[in-house]
Amino acid sequence: MEATLKYSETELVQLLKQRQQSAFSYLYDNYSGALLSVIVGVVADTELANDVLQEVFIKIWRQIESYDDTKGRLFTWMLNVARNASIDTVRSKGYQNSQQNQELTETTYNAGGTTHIQTDQIGLRKVVHQLKEEYKVLVELAYFQGFTQDEISKILDIPLGTVKTRLRTALIQLRTVIKQ
């Protein structure tokens, strides 16, 4: 019987706000795979990405009250929770250190990287990969690494206005590619 259960987005959000276990279970069953693909786009290590997924679902559960359906779809909100958590992880000191160790291991033994997914082949990354180089770099820094446009302007040493226009053009192309 449970397998045939299907909630509308509004029903699901309502039940989550009522703290219903069944709603959370449904949310996980339906969205975990899609959200994990978003996380893996930023955090390449699958084991770590799975840890971030845990954190993301706990955040979604505890912060569901702050989701406002007049501002967008549930998935868009969850996607942004997932992206922010992933970027926080990648920027954390622990991750930076582990990456350095990983690089050492890889160069010394050439054995690492088995749990690393070729992120170019995944989700939005795959789409971004099809963009022109000058656009790709901007989306990479802004979307996958979470830099502000101001920061990007300094990193790439190009004027802020150029960053803005190029990023917007990149996003328009992204929209076209995503629809295909």
Partner 1 sequence: MNIDNYISSGAIESYVLGLATAQEAAEVQQLSLQYPEIKQAIADFEASLEAAAFANAITPAASSKEKLMFALQDEFVAPSITNIEPSAIVVAMDENVTTPEQKMAVVRKMNPLRFVAAASIILLIVSGGLNIYFYSKYDDFYL
State the nearest-atom distance from the C-beta of 67 to partner 1, in Å.
14
Residue with Cβ nearer partner 1 (107 or 180): 180
State the nearest-atom distance from the C-beta of 88 to partner 1, in Å.
13
State the nearest-atom distance from the C-beta of 4 to partner 1, in Å.
19
Instruction: Measure CA 129 to chain center.
Output: 16
CA 23, 24, 25 angle in degrees (round to 5)? 90
Residue with Cβ nearer partner 1 (106 or 168): 168
- The contact set with partner 1 (CB under 8 A) reads 18-21, 24-25, 28-29, 32-38, 40, 46-47, 50, 53-54, 57-58, 61-62, 71-73, 75-76, 79-80, 83-84, 117, 122-124, 126-127, 142-143, 149, 167-172, 174-175, 178-179
> In the Cβ-directed half-sphere of 110, how many Cα atoms lie within 13 Å?
0
C-alpha to C-alpha distances, 165 to 34, 78, 91, 92, 146, nearest whole angstrom? 30, 27, 26, 30, 18
Among 80, 112, 91, smallest CA distance to 43 is for 91
